Amino acid sequence: MTMAALSAALAAIQPAFTEAERLAFAGFLAGYRGLTREAYGLDLRQFASWCRGRSLAVFAIRRADIEGLPGTWKPGAGLAQPSQGGCGP
């Protein structure tokens, strides 16, 4: 019986967040717990990954960087208007 040689390749892994992002996200998440905290944590990880994929710094992104994306709200596009963060008139 022959023994197959095992090899391991190492891959460089980029940290998920910069130190400033990690501190800001941790501060934001500190106000939540349970499933809400887990959901917001996932949202933040996905957003940071999206930014990295487009070579955008998380804290340097502008509204214009996001508004032109498919699936974002545009007047007359037949999608519901985003909430403005308030209730009533």
Q: What is the C-alpha to C-alpha distance for residues 16 and 33, in angstroms, rounded to an integer?
A: 21
DSSP 35-48: HHHHHHHHHHHHHH
This prediction has a pTM of 0.58
pLDDT tens over the chain, length 89 residues: 556 666 667 766 666 678 888 899 999 999 999 999 999 999 998 888 888 888 888 898 888 887 777 665 556 655 555 556 555 54
